[in-house]
A and B are shown apart, each in its own frame.
Chain A
Amino acid sequence: MELTGSHILHAPVQKIWDLILNPEFLAKVTPGISRLEQESGDLYKAIAEIKIGPVHGKFEGSAELTDKVEHESFVLKVTQNSKIGNVEADIKMVMKPTENNETELSFDGVANMSGLLARTGNRVMSGVANTLTKQFFSNFEKELLNY
């Protein structure tokens, strides 16, 4: 499944970059996340519970930031396992300042799924991914005001 899109966040790149690297903040804005712990450096342990339509499961796994170019981009590698299947995703995140000194965050990547997640088909899964992405950015914007 391909994951692409972009979103304008109402804060300068510097602030967005810092927030994204802040596990406490990320745990608040990422939908379904119940625990996010820094294991070492850029490697995080994540536990999430997702319930959207037919997709319902508890996910455990890791998230790792690699290929970091400060204030510009990084690659997010996510491995999540659950009873309903496993997800492995490689997503490139790029931050660009806009004219109004806000940040355009764009992402581009591929998620490979197995198990029931794969069998429910791309039609359902891409809908789920869209919903989660929207929730993420809407949470992000709300939480942004507190930082």
Chain B
Amino acid sequence: MSNKYIGQSVKRVEDKRFITGEGRYTDDIVLPRMVHAYILRSPYAHARIKSIDTSEALAMKGVVAIYTGKDFENINGVPCGWQVNFKDGTTMREPKHPLLVLDKVKHAGDGVAMVVAETKEIAADAAEAINVKYEVLKAVTNPKEALAPGAPLVHDEYPDNIAFDWQIGNDKAEVDAAMDSAHHITKLDFTNNRVVPNAMEPRSYIGDYDTAYDRYTLYTSTQNPHLIRLLMCAFVLGIPEHKVRVVGPDVGGGFGSKIYHYTEEALVTWAAKQLRRPIKWTSDRSEAFLTDAHGRDHVSTAEMGFDKDGHIVGLRIKTYANLGAYLSTFASAVPTYLHGTLLQGVYTTPKIHLDMTCVFTHTTAVDAYRGAGRPEATYLLERLMDVSAHEMGIDPAELRFKNFIPPFDGVNQAGYQTQVALQYDSGNYHAVLERGLEMLGYADFKEKQAEARKNGKLLGVGFSTYIEACGIAPSAVVGSLGARAGLFESAQVRVQPTGKVNVYTGSHSHGQGHETSFAQVVADKLGIPLADVEIIHGDSDAVAFGMGTYGSRSLAVGGSAIVKSIEKVLEKGAKIAAHKLECSTDDLDFADGKWTVKGTDKSIGFGDVALTAYVPHVYPANLEPGLDFSSFYDPANFTYPFGCHIAVVEVDAETGKVTIKRFVAVDDVGNVINPMIVEGQIHGGLAQGIGQALLEGVIYDENGQLTTGTFMDYAMPRADDLPMFETDRKTTPCPHNPLGVKGAGEAGAIGSTPAVVNAVMNATWHLGVRDLEMPLTPQRVWRAMNHK
């Protein structure tokens, strides 16, 4: 062990290829004899297919094949990864999500036919020549409207559009009693707006089939290659898993939208064998808006009760989650186990109850989106806290201090058992808020705000003290909650004879910087230069197994698996070193890349030991040659990063435009391997969280048409929408993984959204504004201020 790299802002080694245009994404891959697919999509949100005539299209020059729903009548659809049960114990409703629709399209963009042609352009032109006759039906896109009697049905077999209902927390009667006893109750209706993830790289897949070896290869822009292989082989196509290689090459962002096993992945893999030619499909941007899994979309009524001193006595929530037309891979997990379990927040709330109804609508499927369920929980809690504080005349920071769970490190003090199943590992919530207030200069700020008000400026401050469950996840726990997979991670550390090291990790990088931060860990643990370590990921033929990257799990779970393998390498290395140095392993110390006999200057370097392992001439008896170890790491618990985000906004009294003047973020993500990468992750998350609050929002019209389907109609945050972020960190190590890390990928998107909305409400509170639906566009804010 040395401490040369861990904790240092090492520049990302992968960035050279990304910024010089040498990154290799799926669409960059060109295989010999490759043909191109184009998916003809339904222009309607809900319609019966009366007929499909492909004859004209098939006759076009360059068209290789056309497939329709009929070809997949006897092939399974894409599955959901989690089984959640109704309150009464019956299994959730899981409609078939066919690779192509046979009879009824269920959202605008549903795939109706796949044209394969010599070029993408020919395929697109041929798709235009396909004549589909539809009987257009009425559509419903809002979850509450979908539950109304007589609402159009998404799946004819489910006469109420309910996927499942679910609850978590204390007994409902106990929570009702606690609320009845409350001195003050804050009750609000919230909408958590639907957003489009908009990864920079659109989805792209290549299916290939090798007749000589009877072997498939799928290149895919995914967050989890092995998971895609498992789902596609075992659940959809029924092809043998050992005959399938899935490669996730460089992937340009996912944010949760590339967890989903999409129909197009199975389509190109299946058709590659039919045609004996590689097939590429790449989404265009408009298609991405329409078919990439969306995020969020909750409608809630939430109540928080307080005693006369401002202590929370109860929390009662009713939420409707819009799942879209089909169940995505994490569809059922996001609104339940990744949302309901976070409703304790960082507070000592004694009684909590969430009643959840998950609903089908004629919209694009919803899946994980940066934070996945946890932002929705945080939004409810943190909005309620600020509104309650203002209603009760208590300072919002003070109200939080009153209700925080006291600090606990998970070692000397036990973890904190919540009312909603989870046990927090370690936390110090006071520390992050104290630091945030200090950075803000809160005392001075209050004076400034009063002065600004006098001058007609609407200045507001909003708080958010969030917690998240990351490092997903202990397999036994998630298994008991309905996950159809374990959520461990694998790692192989292969030391080459020259002492160079290849590390094969099951965690996939699509922008997170694994090739740098993982290498920092390996280099320090083995005491070798960073350049001597290569991190390999994303290829199921190279990597033993992997559950992928999401839920801020890469370093906490994938990194821990690497540490386990390194420990095995060092244990065996010590035996070789002891043999060479003619001593016992107990007499050895390992530091700075060499084993030294204690109290002497006799030592042997890591490189010499590696060479000896592969040239075992002078070698311990009964020891195998080689230095190459694999490990699987299954975490003992989730990790629980937390933090404090504070937004200062100015609302233009004339136009309602919100400008973020300052944004303070103090995050505690446990130990940090590369501060610059963590900072980058926080910045990216903040941009997305602020984007949801102020700019982004999906709008379907009354016919189920996506009216926000371009970057002209869907506002993404740009640099000039954001202030210079003021960030700092506190460190409360994770007590149950070897690196003490908690994960930082989602924190920014979880904490920032309510902070911004709280700040706008604070700025306009005196005008009677209590809640507004996001995004807080100038029009919405102006109307609320002017009661129009």
- Which residues of A come within 8 Å of B, CB atoms? 82-83, 85-86, 112-116, 118-124
Q: Which of B43, B128, B710 contacts A120 (CB 8 A)?
A: B710
Asked if A114 and B709 sit within 8 Å, CB to CB, the answer is no
- Report the Cα distance A140→B77, complex, angstroms: 54
- Tell whether, in the assembled complex, residue B710 and residue A121 are in contact, meaning their CB atoms are under 8 Å apart: yes
Q: Is the interface of B mostly helix, strand, loop or mixed?
A: loop
Chain A positions within 8 Å of B108 at CB level = 114-115, 118
For residue B528, give the distance in angstroms from its CB to the closest CB of chain A: 53
Does B493 touch A at the CB level, under 8 Å? no
Q: Which residue of B lies closest to A120 (CB)?
A: B710
- Say which residue of B44, B124, B286, B703 sits within 8 Å of A119 (CB atoms): B286
The verdict on B707 contacting chain A, using a C-beta distance below 8 Å, is yes
Decide if B701 is an interface residue (CB 8 Å cutoff): yes
- Interface contact B712-A120, CB-CB below 8 Å: yes
Known: A83-B127, A83-B128, A85-B43. A119 touches B701 (CB 8 A): no
Tell me if B114 counts as interface (CB < 8 A to partner A). Answer: no
Determine whether the beta carbon of A116 is less than 8 Å from that of B709.
yes
Partner of A118, one of B124, B127, B701, B712: B701
Taking a contact as CB atoms closer than 8 A, the residue among B127, B703, B708 that contacts A112 in the complex is B703
Which chain B residues numbered 677 to 718 have a C-beta less than 8 Å away from chain A?
701, 703, 705-710, 712-713
Contact B713 A123 (CB under 8 A): yes
25 A-B pairs in the complex with CB atoms less than 8 angstroms apart: A82-B128, A83-B124, A83-B128, A85-B43, A86-B43, A113-B705, A114-B43, A114-B44, A114-B703, A114-B705, A115-B108, A116-B709, A118-B701, A119-B286, A119-B707, A119-B708, A119-B713, A120-B709, A120-B710, A121-B708, A121-B709, A121-B710, A121-B712, A123-B713, A124-B712
Chain B residues positioned under 8 Å from A122 (CB to CB) = 707
Top 5 A-B residue pairs of the complex, sorted by shortest distance between their CB atoms: A119-B709, A118-B705, A115-B43, A114-B43, A121-B713
B298-339 vs A, CB cutoff 8 Å, 1 = contact: the mask equals: 000000000000000000000000000000000000000000
Contact of B703 with A120 in the complex, beta carbons under 8 Å: no
Point out residues on B near A: beta carbons under 8 Å. 41, 43-44, 108, 124, 127-128, 286, 289-290, 701, 703, 705-710, 712-713
**A123 contacts B712, CB within 8 Å?**
yes
Query: Which of the residues A82, A83, A119, A123 comes within 8 Å of B705, measured between beta carbons?
Result: A119
Instruction: Name the residue among A82, A85, A114, A124 with the largest chain B CB count within 10 angstroms.
Output: A114
Chain B residues lying within 8 Å of A123, measured Cβ to Cβ, are 712-713
A113: chain B residues within 8 A (beta carbon): 705
Determine if A119 and B290 form an interchain contact, defined as CB atoms under 8 angstroms apart. yes
Give the complex CA separation of A115 and B289 in angstroms.
12
Which chain B residues border A82 with CB–CB below 8 Å? 128
Residues of A within 8 A of B712 (CB): 120-121, 123-124
Q: Across the interface, which residues of B come within 8 angstroms of A118, CB to CB?
A: 43, 108, 701, 703, 705-707, 709
Q: Report A-chain residues with C-beta under 8 Å of the C-beta of B710.
A: 119-121
Residue of B nearest to A112 (CB): B703
Nearest Cβ in chain A — how far from B760, in angstroms?
25
List 9 other contacts, CB 8 Å, given A121-B712, A121-B713, A122-B707: A83-B124, A114-B43, A116-B709, A118-B705, A118-B709, A119-B705, A119-B713, A120-B713, A123-B712
* CB-defined contacts of B709 to chain A, threshold 8 Å: 116, 118-121
* B127 and A119 contact, CB distance less than 8 A: no
Chain B residue contacts of A124, Cβ below 8 A: 712
Instruction: Assess the B128–A119 pair: CB atoms within 8 A.
Output: no
Chain A residues closer than 8 Å to B708, beta-carbon distance? 119, 121
Task: Specify the chain A residue showing the minimal Cβ separation from B713.
Answer: A121
CB contact between B286 and one of A86, A112, A114, A116 (< 8 Å): that residue = A116
User: Chain A residue with minimal CB distance to B699?
Assistant: A121
Chain B contacts of A120 at CB under 8 A?
A: 709-710, 712-713
- A85 CA to B286 CA, complexed, in Å: 13
- Residue among A82, A121, A124 with most chain B CB within 10 A: A121
Give Cα A123–Cα B714 distance, bound, in whole angstroms.
12
Q: Which residues of chain A are within 8 angstroms of B44 by Cβ–Cβ distance? A: 114
Closest to A86 in B: B43
Contact across chains for B286 and A121 when beta carbons are under 8 A apart: no
Complexed CA–CA distance, A124 and B705 (Å): 15
Chain B residues whose C-beta falls within 8 Å of the C-beta of A86 in the assembled complex: 43
In the complex, chain A residues whose CB is within 8 Å of the CB of B706: 118-119
- For the complex, what is the distance from the CA of A138 to the CA of B27, rounded to whole Å? 47
List of B residues within 8 angstroms of A115 by Cβ: 41, 43, 108, 705
Closest residue of A by beta carbon distance from B131: A81
Contacts of A121 in B (CB 8 A): 707-710, 712-713
Interchain nearest-CB distance for B133 vs A (Å): 10
A112 to B708, CA, bound (A): 16
Nearest chain A CB to B56 CB, angstrom units: 12
Q: Which residue of B lies closest to A125 (CB)?
A: B707
- Give bound CA distance, A83 to B286, whole Å: 13
